[in-house]
Chain A
Amino acid sequence: MLAKLTYLELKLFTREIITPVLVLLLPLALLLGFGYLPGGNKAQQALGGQTTPEYMAALGVGLTLTVLGLSILPATLAGYREKGVLRRMATTPVRPAYLLIAQLLLYVAAAFVSVALMIIAARVLFGTPVPERFPAFVGTVVLGIGALFGIGLVVAAVAPGAKAGNLIGMVLFFPSLFLGGVYIPREQMPSALRAVGDYTPLGATLKTMRDSWMGAEPHLAQLAIMAAYAVAAGLTAARLFRWE
Protein backbone atom coordinates (compact mmCIF):
# COMPACT_ATOMS: atom_id res chain seq x y z
CA MET A 1 0.00 0.00 0.00
CA LEU A 2 2.79 2.43 0.91
CA ALA A 3 4.65 1.31 -2.21
CA LYS A 4 1.58 1.93 -4.34
CA LEU A 5 1.02 5.30 -2.73
CA THR A 6 4.64 6.35 -3.23
CA TYR A 7 4.64 5.14 -6.83
CA LEU A 8 1.50 7.15 -7.57
CA GLU A 9 3.01 10.22 -5.90
CA LEU A 10 6.06 9.72 -8.12
CA LYS A 11 3.79 9.70 -11.18
CA LEU A 12 2.08 12.87 -10.01
CA PHE A 13 5.49 14.42 -9.36
CA THR A 14 6.69 13.72 -12.90
CA ARG A 15 3.42 15.09 -14.32
CA GLU A 16 4.28 18.44 -12.77
CA ILE A 17 6.97 18.59 -15.49
CA ILE A 18 8.55 21.78 -14.23
CA THR A 19 9.50 20.45 -10.79
CA PRO A 20 11.48 17.38 -11.85
CA VAL A 21 13.30 19.58 -14.34
CA LEU A 22 14.10 22.06 -11.62
CA VAL A 23 15.20 19.39 -9.18
CA LEU A 24 17.34 17.25 -11.47
CA LEU A 25 18.29 19.23 -14.54
CA LEU A 26 18.95 22.72 -13.19
CA PRO A 27 21.89 21.56 -11.02
CA LEU A 28 23.19 19.62 -14.00
CA ALA A 29 22.89 22.70 -16.21
CA LEU A 30 24.81 24.75 -13.64
CA LEU A 31 27.53 22.13 -13.51
CA LEU A 32 27.88 22.17 -17.30
CA GLY A 33 27.59 25.94 -17.59
CA PHE A 34 30.23 26.79 -15.02
CA GLY A 35 32.35 23.64 -15.26
CA TYR A 36 33.52 24.43 -18.77
CA LEU A 37 34.66 27.99 -17.94
CA PRO A 38 38.36 28.36 -18.81
CA GLY A 39 40.68 27.35 -16.01
CA GLY A 40 37.81 25.84 -14.07
CA ASN A 41 39.45 22.49 -13.60
CA LYS A 42 42.31 23.89 -11.51
CA ALA A 43 42.03 24.07 -7.75
CA GLN A 44 40.99 27.61 -6.88
CA GLN A 45 41.76 29.69 -3.85
CA ALA A 46 38.48 31.57 -4.24
CA LEU A 47 36.59 28.27 -3.94
CA GLY A 48 38.44 27.07 -0.85
CA GLY A 49 40.82 24.98 -2.93
CA GLN A 50 38.20 23.17 -4.99
CA THR A 51 37.93 22.99 -8.76
CA THR A 52 34.89 24.69 -10.28
CA PRO A 53 33.15 21.40 -11.27
CA GLU A 54 33.65 19.93 -7.79
CA TYR A 55 32.34 23.10 -6.23
CA MET A 56 29.37 23.25 -8.61
CA ALA A 57 28.51 19.57 -8.05
CA ALA A 58 28.19 20.14 -4.31
CA LEU A 59 26.30 23.35 -4.90
CA GLY A 60 23.90 21.49 -7.22
CA VAL A 61 23.14 18.92 -4.55
CA GLY A 62 22.52 21.71 -2.04
CA LEU A 63 20.19 23.41 -4.49
CA THR A 64 18.22 20.20 -5.04
CA LEU A 65 17.78 19.66 -1.31
CA THR A 66 16.62 23.25 -0.85
CA VAL A 67 14.10 23.19 -3.71
CA LEU A 68 12.68 19.88 -2.50
CA GLY A 69 12.62 20.80 1.18
CA LEU A 70 11.63 24.45 1.19
CA SER A 71 9.48 24.66 -1.92
CA ILE A 72 8.01 21.42 -3.22
CA LEU A 73 7.41 19.62 0.06
CA PRO A 74 5.50 22.42 1.86
CA ALA A 75 3.53 23.50 -1.22
CA THR A 76 2.41 19.95 -1.94
CA LEU A 77 1.47 19.03 1.60
CA ALA A 78 -0.28 22.32 2.36
CA GLY A 79 -2.12 21.94 -0.97
CA TYR A 80 -3.23 18.44 -0.03
CA ARG A 81 -4.59 19.73 3.23
CA GLU A 82 -6.29 22.71 1.58
CA LYS A 83 -8.00 20.52 -1.01
CA GLY A 84 -9.16 18.04 1.62
CA VAL A 85 -7.03 15.23 0.23
CA LEU A 86 -5.67 14.46 3.71
CA ARG A 87 -9.13 14.67 5.19
CA ARG A 88 -10.60 12.29 2.64
CA MET A 89 -7.82 9.85 3.41
CA ALA A 90 -8.64 10.12 7.09
CA THR A 91 -11.99 8.46 6.30
CA THR A 92 -10.23 5.33 5.00
CA PRO A 93 -8.34 2.65 6.97
CA VAL A 94 -5.06 4.24 5.86
CA ARG A 95 -3.95 7.18 8.00
CA PRO A 96 -3.10 10.33 6.03
CA ALA A 97 0.33 10.13 7.71
CA TYR A 98 1.17 7.54 5.08
CA LEU A 99 0.72 10.15 2.40
CA LEU A 100 3.22 12.34 4.23
CA ILE A 101 5.61 9.39 4.52
CA ALA A 102 5.18 8.61 0.80
CA GLN A 103 6.01 12.23 -0.01
CA LEU A 104 9.12 12.16 2.17
CA LEU A 105 10.28 8.85 0.65
CA LEU A 106 9.80 10.25 -2.82
CA TYR A 107 11.78 13.43 -2.17
CA VAL A 108 14.54 11.65 -0.29
CA ALA A 109 14.85 9.31 -3.27
CA ALA A 110 14.87 12.29 -5.64
CA ALA A 111 17.60 13.89 -3.52
CA PHE A 112 19.79 10.80 -3.75
CA VAL A 113 19.19 10.49 -7.48
CA SER A 114 20.39 14.06 -7.81
CA VAL A 115 23.45 13.33 -5.65
CA ALA A 116 24.34 10.32 -7.79
CA LEU A 117 23.74 12.29 -10.97
CA MET A 118 26.03 15.11 -9.87
CA ILE A 119 28.83 12.79 -8.73
CA ILE A 120 28.70 10.78 -11.94
CA ALA A 121 28.38 13.79 -14.24
CA ALA A 122 31.31 15.57 -12.56
CA ARG A 123 33.40 12.41 -12.69
CA VAL A 124 32.65 11.57 -16.31
CA LEU A 125 32.70 15.06 -17.77
CA PHE A 126 35.41 16.71 -15.71
CA GLY A 127 37.31 13.87 -14.06
CA THR A 128 36.30 15.20 -10.65
CA PRO A 129 37.06 12.57 -7.98
CA VAL A 130 34.09 11.05 -6.18
CA PRO A 131 33.76 12.47 -2.65
CA GLU A 132 36.86 11.34 -0.85
CA ARG A 133 35.37 10.79 2.57
CA PHE A 134 32.42 8.98 1.16
CA PRO A 135 30.67 7.84 4.37
CA ALA A 136 31.05 11.30 5.85
CA PHE A 137 29.68 12.79 2.64
CA VAL A 138 26.60 10.55 2.72
CA GLY A 139 26.17 11.41 6.39
CA THR A 140 26.21 15.14 5.65
CA VAL A 141 23.67 14.68 2.86
CA VAL A 142 21.40 12.77 5.24
CA LEU A 143 21.72 15.44 7.92
CA GLY A 144 21.15 18.17 5.32
CA ILE A 145 17.98 16.41 4.16
CA GLY A 146 16.87 16.14 7.78
CA ALA A 147 17.42 19.85 8.42
CA LEU A 148 15.91 21.22 5.19
CA PHE A 149 13.00 18.80 4.92
CA GLY A 150 12.29 19.30 8.63
CA ILE A 151 11.97 23.02 8.09
CA GLY A 152 9.78 22.32 5.03
CA LEU A 153 7.50 20.24 7.24
CA VAL A 154 7.16 23.11 9.71
CA VAL A 155 6.18 25.39 6.82
CA ALA A 156 3.67 22.76 5.65
CA ALA A 157 2.31 22.60 9.19
CA VAL A 158 1.68 26.33 9.56
CA ALA A 159 0.75 27.25 5.97
CA PRO A 160 -2.99 27.25 5.40
CA GLY A 161 -2.74 26.36 1.72
CA ALA A 162 -0.54 25.67 -1.29
CA LYS A 163 -0.11 29.37 -2.13
CA ALA A 164 0.89 30.30 1.40
CA GLY A 165 3.13 27.24 1.59
CA ASN A 166 4.90 28.34 -1.54
CA LEU A 167 5.18 31.92 -0.34
CA ILE A 168 6.63 31.07 3.08
CA GLY A 169 8.91 28.57 1.38
CA MET A 170 10.19 31.28 -0.97
CA VAL A 171 10.75 33.73 1.89
CA LEU A 172 13.09 31.13 3.40
CA PHE A 173 14.43 29.91 0.06
CA PHE A 174 16.23 32.98 -1.26
CA PRO A 175 17.94 34.10 1.98
CA SER A 176 18.98 30.45 2.43
CA LEU A 177 20.64 30.45 -0.97
CA PHE A 178 22.31 33.78 -0.23
CA LEU A 179 23.58 32.92 3.24
CA GLY A 180 24.42 29.37 2.21
CA GLY A 181 26.90 30.66 -0.33
CA VAL A 182 25.04 29.78 -3.51
CA TYR A 183 25.16 33.25 -5.07
CA ILE A 184 28.62 34.14 -3.78
CA PRO A 185 30.94 31.35 -2.62
CA ARG A 186 31.39 31.57 1.16
CA GLU A 187 35.13 32.07 0.70
CA GLN A 188 34.37 35.42 -0.94
CA MET A 189 31.84 36.58 1.64
CA PRO A 190 32.63 39.15 4.36
CA SER A 191 33.68 37.18 7.42
CA ALA A 192 30.67 38.26 9.54
CA LEU A 193 28.25 37.05 6.90
CA ARG A 194 30.20 33.84 6.51
CA ALA A 195 30.04 33.20 10.25
CA VAL A 196 26.25 33.42 10.13
CA GLY A 197 25.90 31.55 6.84
CA ASP A 198 27.95 28.59 8.06
CA TYR A 199 25.30 27.83 10.65
CA THR A 200 22.21 28.16 8.46
CA PRO A 201 20.78 24.81 7.37
CA LEU A 202 21.89 25.11 3.77
CA GLY A 203 25.20 26.82 4.62
CA ALA A 204 26.19 24.04 7.01
CA THR A 205 25.06 21.37 4.55
CA LEU A 206 26.99 22.87 1.68
CA LYS A 207 30.17 23.42 3.68
CA THR A 208 30.27 19.93 5.17
CA MET A 209 29.51 18.38 1.77
CA ARG A 210 32.37 20.31 0.21
CA ASP A 211 34.74 19.42 3.04
CA SER A 212 34.05 15.71 2.77
CA TRP A 213 34.25 15.91 -1.02
CA MET A 214 37.76 17.37 -0.76
CA GLY A 215 38.75 14.82 1.84
CA ALA A 216 38.77 17.28 4.73
CA GLU A 217 37.05 16.40 7.98
CA PRO A 218 33.60 18.08 8.28
CA HIS A 219 33.32 20.40 11.27
CA LEU A 220 31.62 18.73 14.19
CA ALA A 221 29.86 21.95 15.18
CA GLN A 222 28.26 22.15 11.75
CA LEU A 223 27.14 18.54 11.82
CA ALA A 224 25.71 19.14 15.27
CA ILE A 225 23.79 22.21 14.17
CA MET A 226 22.31 20.31 11.22
CA ALA A 227 21.17 17.52 13.52
CA ALA A 228 19.74 20.13 15.87
CA TYR A 229 17.77 21.75 13.04
CA ALA A 230 16.43 18.36 11.98
CA VAL A 231 15.33 17.35 15.47
CA ALA A 232 13.88 20.73 16.47
CA ALA A 233 12.02 21.17 13.17
CA GLY A 234 10.80 17.58 13.22
CA LEU A 235 9.39 17.95 16.71
CA THR A 236 7.82 21.33 15.94
CA ALA A 237 6.21 19.98 12.77
CA ALA A 238 4.89 16.92 14.60
CA ARG A 239 3.37 19.20 17.22
CA LEU A 240 1.87 21.76 14.82
CA PHE A 241 0.83 19.64 11.87
CA ARG A 242 -2.90 19.68 11.13
CA TRP A 243 -4.55 17.17 8.86
CA GLU A 244 -7.42 19.49 7.98
Chain B
Amino acid sequence: MPVIDVRNLHKRYGAKVAVEDVSFAVEEGEIFGVLGPNGAGKTTTVECVEGLRTPDRGTVSVLGLDPRRDRTELTRRLGVQLQASELPDKMKVGEALELYASFYDRPADPGRLIEELGLADQHDTRFGRLSGGQKQRVSIALALVGDPEVAVLDELTTGLDPQARRDTWRLIEGVRDRGVTIVLVTHFMEEAERLCDRLAVIDAGRVVAVDTPAGLVSRVAPEQRVRFRPSVPLDDHLLKELPEVRNVTKTGGQVVVTGTDGLLQAVTSVLARNHVIAADLRVEQSSLDDAFVALTGRTID
Protein backbone atom coordinates (compact mmCIF):
# COMPACT_ATOMS: atom_id res chain seq x y z
CA MET B 1 0.00 0.00 0.00
CA PRO B 2 1.39 3.44 -0.85
CA VAL B 3 2.29 5.73 2.05
CA ILE B 4 0.46 8.62 0.42
CA ASP B 5 -2.41 8.10 -1.97
CA VAL B 6 -4.01 11.11 -3.64
CA ARG B 7 -6.92 10.47 -5.98
CA ASN B 8 -8.70 12.99 -8.17
CA LEU B 9 -7.98 15.84 -5.80
CA HIS B 10 -9.88 19.03 -6.63
CA LYS B 11 -9.67 22.29 -4.69
CA ARG B 12 -11.10 25.75 -5.35
CA TYR B 13 -10.67 29.06 -3.55
CA GLY B 14 -13.96 30.77 -4.27
CA ALA B 15 -14.22 30.80 -8.04
CA LYS B 16 -10.48 30.22 -8.53
CA VAL B 17 -9.58 26.60 -9.22
CA ALA B 18 -6.20 25.92 -7.59
CA VAL B 19 -6.13 22.15 -8.17
CA GLU B 20 -8.17 20.75 -11.05
CA ASP B 21 -7.49 17.03 -10.88
CA VAL B 22 -4.42 15.58 -9.19
CA SER B 23 -3.66 11.92 -8.50
CA PHE B 24 -0.40 10.29 -7.42
CA ALA B 25 0.91 7.70 -5.01
CA VAL B 26 4.06 7.88 -2.92
CA GLU B 27 5.75 4.62 -1.93
CA GLU B 28 7.45 3.92 1.37
CA GLY B 29 11.02 5.16 1.68
CA GLU B 30 11.18 7.19 -1.51
CA ILE B 31 11.82 10.84 -2.12
CA PHE B 32 8.91 11.98 -4.21
CA GLY B 33 9.17 15.33 -5.96
CA VAL B 34 6.34 17.69 -6.83
CA LEU B 35 7.57 19.95 -9.60
CA GLY B 36 5.76 22.76 -11.34
CA PRO B 37 5.74 26.46 -12.18
CA ASN B 38 4.42 29.19 -9.83
CA GLY B 39 0.73 28.87 -9.08
CA ALA B 40 0.51 25.32 -10.43
CA GLY B 41 -1.23 24.14 -7.26
CA LYS B 42 1.70 22.39 -5.57
CA THR B 43 1.26 23.99 -2.15
CA THR B 44 -2.50 23.52 -2.23
CA THR B 45 -2.00 19.84 -3.05
CA VAL B 46 0.45 19.15 -0.23
CA GLU B 47 -1.64 21.15 2.23
CA CYS B 48 -4.52 18.80 1.50
CA VAL B 49 -2.12 15.93 2.22
CA GLU B 50 -1.15 17.59 5.53
CA GLY B 51 -4.80 18.02 6.50
CA LEU B 52 -4.53 21.81 6.60
CA ARG B 53 -7.05 22.17 3.79
CA THR B 54 -10.19 20.24 2.98
CA PRO B 55 -10.41 19.02 -0.61
CA ASP B 56 -13.56 19.91 -2.52
CA ARG B 57 -13.45 16.55 -4.26
CA GLY B 58 -11.29 13.46 -4.32
CA THR B 59 -9.66 11.38 -1.61
CA VAL B 60 -6.36 11.62 0.24
CA SER B 61 -4.89 8.95 2.44
CA VAL B 62 -1.60 9.23 4.34
CA LEU B 63 -0.23 6.19 6.23
CA GLY B 64 -3.74 4.78 5.86
CA LEU B 65 -5.17 7.81 7.70
CA ASP B 66 -7.65 10.44 6.60
CA PRO B 67 -5.75 13.73 7.01
CA ARG B 68 -8.83 15.59 8.26
CA ARG B 69 -10.56 12.93 10.35
CA ASP B 70 -7.43 11.38 11.89
CA ARG B 71 -5.65 14.68 12.33
CA THR B 72 -4.08 14.10 15.74
CA GLU B 73 -2.70 10.70 14.78
CA LEU B 74 -1.37 12.12 11.51
CA THR B 75 0.42 15.06 13.16
CA ARG B 76 2.39 12.59 15.30
CA ARG B 77 3.73 10.79 12.26
CA LEU B 78 3.98 13.48 9.59
CA GLY B 79 6.52 16.29 9.65
CA VAL B 80 5.66 19.44 7.74
CA GLN B 81 7.67 22.34 6.44
CA LEU B 82 5.29 25.07 5.32
CA GLN B 83 6.20 27.30 2.40
CA ALA B 84 5.65 30.45 4.44
CA SER B 85 5.61 30.33 8.20
CA GLU B 86 7.61 32.20 10.81
CA LEU B 87 8.22 32.08 14.53
CA PRO B 88 7.86 34.88 17.06
CA ASP B 89 10.74 37.32 16.46
CA LYS B 90 12.02 37.12 20.01
CA MET B 91 12.12 33.32 20.21
CA LYS B 92 15.60 31.79 20.15
CA VAL B 93 16.46 28.94 17.81
CA GLY B 94 17.26 26.54 20.66
CA GLU B 95 14.04 27.42 22.47
CA ALA B 96 11.96 26.81 19.37
CA LEU B 97 13.46 23.37 18.81
CA GLU B 98 13.07 22.41 22.48
CA LEU B 99 9.47 23.61 22.49
CA TYR B 100 8.49 21.76 19.34
CA ALA B 101 10.31 18.64 20.55
CA SER B 102 8.13 18.76 23.67
CA PHE B 103 5.03 18.44 21.47
CA TYR B 104 5.94 14.85 20.55
CA ASP B 105 6.13 11.61 22.55
CA ARG B 106 9.38 10.44 20.96
CA PRO B 107 11.08 13.45 19.39
CA ALA B 108 14.41 13.60 17.63
CA ASP B 109 17.31 15.14 19.54
CA PRO B 110 16.98 18.93 19.04
CA GLY B 111 20.68 19.48 19.72
CA ARG B 112 21.70 17.06 17.01
CA LEU B 113 19.29 18.57 14.48
CA ILE B 114 20.67 22.03 15.19
CA GLU B 115 24.13 20.62 14.63
CA GLU B 116 23.19 18.81 11.42
CA LEU B 117 21.53 21.89 9.96
CA GLY B 118 24.55 24.06 10.66
CA LEU B 119 22.70 26.19 13.20
CA ALA B 120 25.01 25.54 16.17
CA ASP B 121 26.26 29.14 16.16
CA GLN B 122 22.67 30.40 16.05
CA HIS B 123 21.46 28.35 19.03
CA ASP B 124 20.88 31.48 21.12
CA THR B 125 19.99 33.82 18.28
CA ARG B 126 16.46 35.20 18.11
CA PHE B 127 14.42 34.15 15.10
CA GLY B 128 13.90 37.76 14.02
CA ARG B 129 17.64 38.24 13.68
CA LEU B 130 18.31 35.22 11.47
CA SER B 131 19.07 35.50 7.77
CA GLY B 132 16.52 34.13 5.30
CA GLY B 133 18.53 30.97 4.77
CA GLN B 134 18.93 30.41 8.49
CA LYS B 135 15.18 30.81 9.03
CA GLN B 136 14.66 28.23 6.31
CA ARG B 137 16.96 25.81 8.10
CA VAL B 138 15.08 26.30 11.37
CA SER B 139 11.93 25.51 9.45
CA ILE B 140 13.43 22.27 8.16
CA ALA B 141 14.62 21.37 11.65
CA LEU B 142 11.10 21.90 13.05
CA ALA B 143 9.69 19.61 10.36
CA LEU B 144 12.05 16.85 11.46
CA VAL B 145 12.04 17.37 15.23
CA GLY B 146 9.11 15.01 15.74
CA ASP B 147 11.13 12.18 14.14
CA PRO B 148 8.38 11.65 11.54
CA GLU B 149 7.72 8.64 9.30
CA VAL B 150 6.78 10.97 6.47
CA ALA B 151 8.02 14.50 5.83
CA VAL B 152 6.44 17.00 3.45
CA LEU B 153 8.82 19.80 2.60
CA ASP B 154 7.46 22.75 0.62
CA GLU B 155 10.21 24.75 -1.13
CA LEU B 156 12.99 23.00 0.75
CA THR B 157 15.94 25.07 -0.36
CA THR B 158 14.41 28.32 -1.59
CA GLY B 159 16.49 31.15 -0.16
CA LEU B 160 19.54 29.04 0.59
CA ASP B 161 22.94 29.73 -0.92
CA PRO B 162 24.46 27.00 -3.11
CA GLN B 163 26.60 25.56 -0.33
CA ALA B 164 23.73 25.46 2.15
CA ARG B 165 21.56 23.92 -0.55
CA ARG B 166 24.05 21.10 -1.07
CA ASP B 167 24.35 20.56 2.68
CA THR B 168 20.56 20.38 2.95
CA TRP B 169 20.39 17.83 0.14
CA ARG B 170 22.89 15.66 1.99
CA LEU B 171 20.81 16.01 5.15
CA ILE B 172 17.63 14.99 3.32
CA GLU B 173 19.37 11.97 1.82
CA GLY B 174 20.45 11.05 5.32
CA VAL B 175 16.86 11.35 6.53
CA ARG B 176 15.67 9.16 3.66
CA ASP B 177 18.33 6.58 4.51
CA ARG B 178 16.77 6.32 7.96
CA GLY B 179 13.61 5.13 6.22
CA VAL B 180 11.62 8.37 6.17
CA THR B 181 9.36 8.88 3.16
CA ILE B 182 9.78 12.38 1.80
CA VAL B 183 7.61 14.60 -0.39
CA LEU B 184 9.56 17.49 -1.81
CA VAL B 185 7.93 20.47 -3.48
CA THR B 186 10.47 22.23 -5.62
CA HIS B 187 11.24 24.71 -8.36
CA PHE B 188 14.77 23.52 -8.89
CA MET B 189 15.52 21.01 -11.63
CA GLU B 190 18.92 20.27 -10.18
CA GLU B 191 17.34 19.50 -6.83
CA ALA B 192 14.69 17.28 -8.38
CA GLU B 193 17.27 15.42 -10.44
CA ARG B 194 19.68 14.95 -7.58
CA LEU B 195 17.23 14.00 -4.82
CA CYS B 196 14.01 12.58 -6.18
CA ASP B 197 13.38 8.92 -6.89
CA ARG B 198 10.20 9.89 -8.71
CA LEU B 199 8.53 13.13 -9.69
CA ALA B 200 5.06 14.41 -10.38
CA VAL B 201 5.08 17.33 -12.78
CA ILE B 202 2.08 19.56 -12.04
CA ASP B 203 0.89 22.29 -14.34
CA ALA B 204 -2.25 24.41 -14.01
CA GLY B 205 -3.74 22.12 -11.38
CA ARG B 206 -3.16 18.87 -13.27
CA VAL B 207 -0.54 16.14 -13.18
CA VAL B 208 1.13 16.08 -16.59
CA ALA B 209 3.54 13.26 -15.80
CA VAL B 210 4.73 10.97 -12.98
CA ASP B 211 8.04 9.24 -13.55
CA THR B 212 11.67 8.94 -12.47
CA PRO B 213 13.83 11.91 -13.49
CA ALA B 214 15.54 9.71 -16.09
CA GLY B 215 12.18 8.42 -17.31
CA LEU B 216 10.90 11.95 -17.79
CA VAL B 217 14.00 12.90 -19.75
CA SER B 218 13.71 9.89 -22.02
CA ARG B 219 10.10 10.78 -22.82
CA VAL B 220 11.23 13.80 -24.73
CA ALA B 221 13.06 13.04 -27.97
CA PRO B 222 16.42 11.60 -26.95
CA GLU B 223 18.32 14.43 -28.52
CA GLN B 224 22.00 15.15 -28.25
CA ARG B 225 23.84 18.38 -28.84
CA VAL B 226 27.48 18.89 -29.78
CA ARG B 227 29.13 22.31 -29.60
CA PHE B 228 32.59 23.24 -30.81
CA ARG B 229 34.74 25.91 -32.44
CA PRO B 230 36.24 24.68 -35.71
CA SER B 231 39.88 25.68 -36.37
CA VAL B 232 38.97 26.67 -39.95
CA PRO B 233 35.62 27.75 -41.42
CA LEU B 234 33.47 24.71 -42.00
CA ASP B 235 31.02 23.87 -44.74
CA ASP B 236 27.62 22.94 -43.22
CA HIS B 237 27.04 20.31 -45.85
CA LEU B 238 29.81 18.11 -44.53
CA LEU B 239 27.80 17.73 -41.32
CA LYS B 240 24.29 17.84 -42.74
CA GLU B 241 24.99 14.81 -44.93
CA LEU B 242 25.51 12.64 -41.87
CA PRO B 243 22.45 10.48 -41.02
CA GLU B 244 22.86 11.18 -37.27
CA VAL B 245 22.64 14.96 -37.72
CA ARG B 246 19.31 16.71 -37.59
CA ASN B 247 20.28 20.34 -37.50
CA VAL B 248 23.32 22.62 -37.69
CA THR B 249 23.45 26.22 -36.47
CA LYS B 250 26.33 28.68 -36.37
CA THR B 251 26.59 31.55 -33.93
CA GLY B 252 29.77 33.58 -34.02
CA GLY B 253 32.58 31.12 -34.35
CA GLN B 254 30.62 28.38 -32.63
CA VAL B 255 28.86 25.49 -34.32
CA VAL B 256 25.98 23.64 -32.64
CA VAL B 257 24.97 20.30 -34.09
CA THR B 258 21.90 18.44 -32.85
CA GLY B 259 20.97 14.90 -33.65
CA THR B 260 20.50 11.37 -32.38
CA ASP B 261 22.63 8.67 -30.72
CA GLY B 262 26.16 8.36 -32.05
CA LEU B 263 26.22 12.03 -32.99
CA LEU B 264 29.57 12.74 -31.36
CA GLN B 265 31.28 9.84 -33.07
CA ALA B 266 29.96 10.86 -36.48
CA VAL B 267 30.84 14.52 -36.11
CA THR B 268 34.38 13.97 -34.84
CA SER B 269 35.25 11.51 -37.60
CA VAL B 270 34.06 13.92 -40.30
CA LEU B 271 36.13 16.69 -38.72
CA ALA B 272 39.21 14.45 -38.53
CA ARG B 273 38.86 13.37 -42.15
CA ASN B 274 38.78 17.05 -43.18
CA HIS B 275 41.68 18.03 -40.91
CA VAL B 276 39.53 20.37 -38.83
CA ILE B 277 40.40 20.66 -35.17
CA ALA B 278 37.44 21.19 -32.82
CA ALA B 279 38.17 23.47 -29.88
CA ASP B 280 35.91 23.75 -26.81
CA LEU B 281 34.15 20.56 -27.81
CA ARG B 282 31.15 19.83 -25.56
CA VAL B 283 28.38 17.25 -25.62
CA GLU B 284 25.02 18.09 -24.04
CA GLN B 285 22.25 15.66 -23.39
CA SER B 286 18.64 16.64 -23.08
CA SER B 287 17.95 17.36 -19.44
CA LEU B 288 15.05 17.47 -17.06
CA ASP B 289 14.76 21.13 -18.06
CA ASP B 290 14.06 20.07 -21.64
CA ALA B 291 11.61 17.46 -20.42
CA PHE B 292 9.82 20.08 -18.37
CA VAL B 293 9.55 22.40 -21.33
CA ALA B 294 8.26 19.58 -23.51
CA LEU B 295 5.63 18.59 -20.93
CA THR B 296 4.34 22.01 -19.94
CA GLY B 297 5.26 24.13 -22.92
CA ARG B 298 7.31 26.56 -20.85
CA THR B 299 10.38 26.87 -18.67
CA ILE B 300 9.93 26.54 -14.94
CA ASP B 301 10.93 30.09 -14.07
Give me the interface of A with B, judged by CB distance under 8 Å: 1, 4-5, 8, 11-12, 15-16, 79-80, 83-85, 87-88, 90-94, 244
11 A-B pairs in the complex with CB atoms less than 8 angstroms apart: A4-B99, A16-B90, A79-B88, A84-B82, A85-B86, A88-B80, A88-B87, A91-B78, A91-B79, A92-B104, A93-B146
Q: Given A90-B52, A93-B72, A85–B90 Cβ distance below 8 Å?
A: no
Contact call B95/A85, Cβ cutoff below 8 A: no
Distance of A2 Cα from B95 Cα, bound (Å) = 15
B50 within 8 A of A: yes
Number of interchain pairs (Cβ within 8 Å): 58
Q: Given A4-B99, A5-B99, A93-B103, A80–B85 Cβ distance below 8 Å?
A: no
Contact call A12/B82, Cβ cutoff below 8 A: no
Contact call A88/B102, Cβ cutoff below 8 A: no
Contacts of B99 in A (CB 8 A): 4-5, 8
Distance of A94 Cα from B80 Cα, bound (Å) = 14
CB within 8 A of B91: which of A12, A79, A90, A91? A12
Q: Given A84-B82, A92-B75, A4–B102 Cβ distance below 8 Å?
A: yes
Distance of A15 Cα from B89 Cα, bound (Å) = 10
Contact call B88/A12, Cβ cutoff below 8 A: yes
Contacts of A8 in B (CB 8 A): 91, 95, 99
CB within 8 A of B85: which of A11, A15, A84, A94? A84
Contacts of A85 in B (CB 8 A): 85-88
Q: How far is the CB of B154 from chain A (nearest CB, A)?
A: 11
Q: How far is the CB of A222 from chain B (nearest CB, A)?
A: 37
The interface residues of chain B, by DSSP majority, are classed as loop
B interface residues, how many (CB within 8 angstroms): 25
B123 within 8 A of A: no
Distance of A90 Cα from B53 Cα, bound (Å) = 11
Contact call B75/A93, Cβ cutoff below 8 A: yes
Distance of A76 Cα from B214 Cα, bound (Å) = 49
B60 within 8 A of A: no
Contacts of A90 in B (CB 8 A): 52
CB within 8 A of B82: which of A4, A11, A16, A91? A91
CB within 8 A of A1: which of B78, B84, B103? B103
Distance of A84 Cα from B85 Cα, bound (Å) = 5
